[in-house]
Chains A and B, each alone.
Chain A
Amino acid sequence: MGGWGFWIPQLVLASSLVTAVVIFGLPEERHRLRGALNLGGAALKLVLVAVMFAGMLHGVRYEARLPFLPGLELVLRVDFLALLFVSLSAVLWLVTTVYAIGYLEGSPHRSRFFGFFSLCVTATMGIALAGNLMTFFVFYEMLTVVTYPLVVHRGTGRALRAGRVYLLYTLGGGTLFLLGAVWLHTLMGTVELVPGGVVAPLVATHRADLVLVFALMIAGLGVKSALVPLHGWLPVAMVAPAPVSALLHAVAVVKAGAFGIVRVVYDVFGVETAAALGVLGPLAAVAAATILYGSLRAMAQDDLKRRLAFSTVSQLSYIVLGTAVVGPLATLGGLVHLLHQGIMKVTLFFCAGIVAETVGVHRVSGMAGIGRRLPVTMTAFTVAAFGMIGVPPLAGFVSKWQLGLGGVAGGEGWVVAVLAASSVLNAAYFLPIVYTAWFREPAAPWPARPDRARWEAPGMLLVPASVTALLVVASGLFAGSPFSPLGIAVRAVREIYGG
């Protein structure tokens, strides 16, 4: 025991857990100290993740096993798949923290907010690093619970109602997942998460059980990853403050679901076993249906955040689709979209938040000519929107390209048709926003920016949005680099398929 390989994974968790505990203890008015703690924790975590990344590239392996319950260990293990999710969360947590500090300036209950905010990230990190199924479940449920106060943060009737819907959906989903996990546990004892899966020996004897376990787990995870028809909570949860929506849609909750599906398919069942059980076909079909349904619904929304929410429903299923098609290229497409969707969607929500905060507009139809008032914001929005449509050289193009190649290589050529249709639909609900913002005449002149303001919006809001927009460009344009999201995903895929 000991050594950095043992401690670093725990420190990654602790960097936000300790932050949370300290923040809960801080008096409400200690804003500067709280901000410093938040940013310090986020920066520390980023450094730790960078160290792990460098270590992994040099062949160091990180694993921590802690006794938990009799016969059950809490296992934290870092593989490239975990690293993928951890890097995304660490980077986006830092920028979202900056944004949240700026966004909530002057509003009440900030200790509560930032405390749960940190816990939320702790849980996400735990999900990423979980080395067995029970560890995964513990953090997965923790995420459900600690996100609730963030969703209802505003305390209005709508927010409370959204929180209730959120809890019922996600706790229900968690219950299904637990049923599946326990069932599997009774069949084979502790379920370690290992590339290639662990259930293969059971296929001959317990085929029906395995199919049901798979269905239970996917249904449970499908709630968070918003697979139709389990997506109902997501558009409702839009009442949360912008930074929460951003984190919720890019990293924390929905990604936990999608990441869970990836883990279940590759590390619990193993993609070959899952294919042999015949469960991947239905999963791919559900994912494809979700992609198209989410896009169609997004077109009908005038509320900007709701439109973005349905877009999330649609885009998340790219990850699931990539997972459900057998073959390294499809996996690569799904995994890289895990990161790409995160940075693109976080940018869009940051921008939506800036629009709402600076000029008080929440509806697409009210955004006519807003590009003149908020040029930098809308440029960032436009970049992310084009990325979502899949226009090169932006991140979304790389996802679609890999997914398409993977679909064909996996013998599922129809995937390309789904991607093409989805691209058209994405264009149909994003381009009108871009058009309205840049080309339509404003109904009335926009309120001028305050006299002493240096920029169009507070820097704490504008800088995160610009940074993530630049990431959207960079991760697409330099996809061929080993340090790009694609580069990390390639390593994760090698790990999954061996070789």
Chain B
Amino acid sequence: MSAAPLLVVLLPLVLAAFVTRPGGAGRLARAAAPWAALPALLLALWPHPPPPAEYPSVLTGMRIEVDATGHLFLLLTAFLWTVAGVYARAYHAEDPARPRLYLFWLAALCGNLGLTVAGDVVTFYLFFALMTFAAYGLVVHAGGGAALRAGRVYLVMAVLGEAMLLSGIVLGAADAAGTGFEAFAAAVADSPRRDLVVGLLLAGFGVKAGAVPLHVWLPLAHPVAPTSASAVLSGSMIKAGLLGWLRFLPLGHAALPGWGAALVALGLAAAFLGVLAGAAQRDAKTALAYSSISQMGFLNVAVGVGLASPQAWPYAWAAALAYALHHGLAKGALFLGVGVAAAARGSGRLAAMAGLAVAALAVAGAPATSGSLAKSALKGAAAQVPQWPAGLDLALSLAAVGTTVLMGRFLLLVWRAGGSAPGPAAGLAVPWMVLLGGVAGVLWWVPGHYQVELGGGYGAGGWVPIWPLAAGGVLLWVLVLGARTLRVPPERVAVSPGDLVVPVERGLSALRRAVAVKLPAAPDAPGWIADRWHGIYARGEQEGRAARLERRLGRWGAAAALFVAVAVALAAALAAGGAR
């Protein structure tokens, strides 16, 4: 029984080993691939949690454990991947590259499941890295320029994130007694390098969590992936960054009001900027990706509350969990719904829009939805930090106004895109409806599991007020009407997907041109990695300053000169020694 978590995590990896093979084993693996997360889902729903397991020979000593935090993330991950897997089976029914997709799908799934049951920092990092690199294959699956650019930006950010994480984890673990999460977090709290470690961990996981300003890869990568992959990317994998924060940061161990306030500020900035940039998109999936950035901002706020005040941490913890489950499922449902709406016609299309509207309302925080529950928990937790201004509550409500506008805009975009090819609609619709059921199920699951922590929060079992929703609706109506009356051409209201990365890319290529013009002798001076990613070897090794030096060192005369110089220096040293 104690081996069960590891087995359900490794099952996708075993399937991945066979999934591209021809023959019977390959066929079996491809048939099983969509269901690969099902055993993990059964484990998550099993009433008795498995005992922790230790594997001392593996890495620096591997610990696998399903605790309360991990359990919720395991449930979210397993459920979403199962639903999306079944959806993918229909979505990619005609795709000749399906085996390759499954390969990366299964590897990323293994990573995503594994990090929820990891019981120590190294195991977490192991599965996190596996997920990160495997997801590249999902991002670029569609092929073509947009996918490759998204993949490039994704990979550069991911590598930078991994490097920051590795440094942060090593610096933290150096003072820790063992690699368990508790020991690690406690050591970080007392570390002389605490601020550095906290900063590295926040940024390292922030890349994955889409935290502003590290979010630039997300609006490029999430929409360009196949729809089923977008759902798990934006619903589940993005939460791995959050789980990393929850596991590694000294939450509840130390009060870090400065970091807490900074994180809340960044979170609010993300919540508003995500809405602004998202509402200016013309592609429904890109708007959803920006919505994810915006919603992850709310989760930033929860983590910020916990960082600022250990007393508020239990409430912030429950709020973060509730919010993660709610947003993961709802966002997954929105992404999958885009594909359903595109494949449906007639009354089916109306039904699809209705389902999307329900999920959108949940994200916007309408009463009696999971969103309202999660937002109320978050506000309750924020109220637990006494020294913070009451304006935070209002800011969260205003952000919810923005969310409503963005969701409305998204629904309009889906509606205008129209239904297209008649697809195997049932294969898409059934898993999607199961997922919508799951969004509703949050209302039952969360209060049942976190009664205490939520009860102490924002009015027991209460909902957030309805006015942000109403205000958002009115604002959306005004905007749409205004744009129509003033005849604003749609291309006037547009933000390039990836926002900040566009000027960065432009700046870098300009820089590269400038450097190339002014210093033709040193084209291989260290430049920005992504920029050089492909160009460098296509261009071959041009004769740069470093290359010239290298060539000289490669001449035999250089060796002779080098050693003559050393001999002279030595003789001088000896003479000096003799004189003394």
Contacts and interface: CB of A to CB of B under 8 A. Distances in A.
B529 A428 contact: yes
B467 interface: no
Contacts of B175: 408
A405 B170 contact: yes
A390 B170 CA distance: 13
Given A300-B541, A302-B541, A393 B174 contact: no
A296 B526 CA distance: 7
Given A231-B553, A236-B554, A416-B170, A423 B570 contact: no
B224 interface: no
Contacts of B577: 208-209, 212
Given A208-B577, A296-B526, A404-B166, A480 B57 contact: yes
B173 interface: yes
Interface residues of A, number: 62
Interface in A413-428: 413, 416-417, 419-421, 423-424, 427-428
A172 B563 contact: yes
Interface stretch (A161-169, A276-284, A351-359): A161-169
Contacts of B171: 404, 408, 413, 416
Nearest to B525: A296
A44 interface: no
Given A168-B559, A393-B59, A212 B167 contact: no
Nearest to A425: B529
Given A401-B170, A480-B61, A424 B559 contact: no
B164 A392 contact: no
A363 B537 CA distance: 9
B570 A179 contact: yes
The interface centre, meaning the residue of B167, B526, B554, B558 with most chain A CB atoms within 10 A of its CB, is B554
B59 A235 contact: no
Interface stretch (A25-33, A260-268, A471-479): A471-479
A94 interface: no
A147 to B, nearest CB: 16
Interface string B552-580: 11111011101100100010010001000
Contact of B193 (A235, A398, A413, A479): A413
A75 interface: no
Interface in A5-62: none
Contact of B550 (A232, A401, A432): A232
Interface stretch (B125-133, B300-308, B312-320, B453-461): B125-133
B145 interface: no
A230 interface: yes
Interface residues of B, number: 57
B122 interface: yes
B541 A417 contact: no
> By DSSP majority rule, is chain B's interface helix, strand, loop, or mixed?
helix
Contacts of B563: 168, 172, 175-176
A431 interface: yes
A229 interface: yes
A439 B140 contact: yes
Given A232-B558, A391-B129, A419 B167 contact: yes
B170 A404 contact: yes
Contacts of B56: 480
Contacts of A386: 133
Interface stretch (B154-162, B278-286, B337-345, B469-477): B154-162
A6 to B, nearest CB: 35
A365 B577 CA distance: 55
Contacts of A164: 556
B129 A392 contact: yes
B499 to A, nearest CB: 24
Interface in A224-263: 229-233, 235-236
Given A175-B563, A404-B166, A480-B61, A232 B554 contact: yes
A409 interface: yes
B559 A392 contact: no
Contact of A417 (B167, B529, B537, B555): B167
B386 interface: no
A216 interface: yes
Contacts of A398: 59-60
A420 B559 contact: no
Interface in A423-442: 423-424, 427-428, 431-432, 439
B174 A423 contact: no
B504 interface: no
A393 B556 contact: no
Interface in B77-126: 122, 125-126
A365 B537 contact: yes
A420 B155 CA distance: 16
A477 B123 CA distance: 11
Interface string B338-360: 00000000000000000000000
B328 to A, nearest CB: 25
A66 to B, nearest CB: 32
B121 to A, nearest CB: 10
A179 to B, nearest CB: 7
B532 A297 contact: no
B553 A432 contact: no
A232 B534 CA distance: 27
Contacts of B537: 301-302, 363-365, 432
25 contacts: A165-B555, A168-B563, A169-B559, A175-B563, A216-B570, A219-B566, A229-B553, A235-B550, A235-B554, A297-B550, A300-B536, A301-B541, A302-B537, A392-B122, A400-B170, A408-B171, A417-B167, A420-B166, A420-B167, A428-B532, A431-B159, A432-B534, A432-B537, A479-B58, A480-B57
Interface of A: 161, 164-165, 168-169, 172, 175-176, 179, 208-209, 212, 216, 219, 229-233, 235-236, 296-297, 299-303, 363-365, 386, 390-393, 398, 400-401, 404-405, 408-409, 413, 416-417, 419-421, 423-424, 427-428, 431-432, 439, 476-481
Given A212-B573, A303-B541, A393-B59, 5 more contacts: A165-B554, A299-B524, A300-B547, A419-B166, A427-B529
CB-based closest 8 A-B pairs: A232-B553, A404-B170, A408-B174, A168-B559, A172-B563, A392-B126, A300-B524, A302-B537
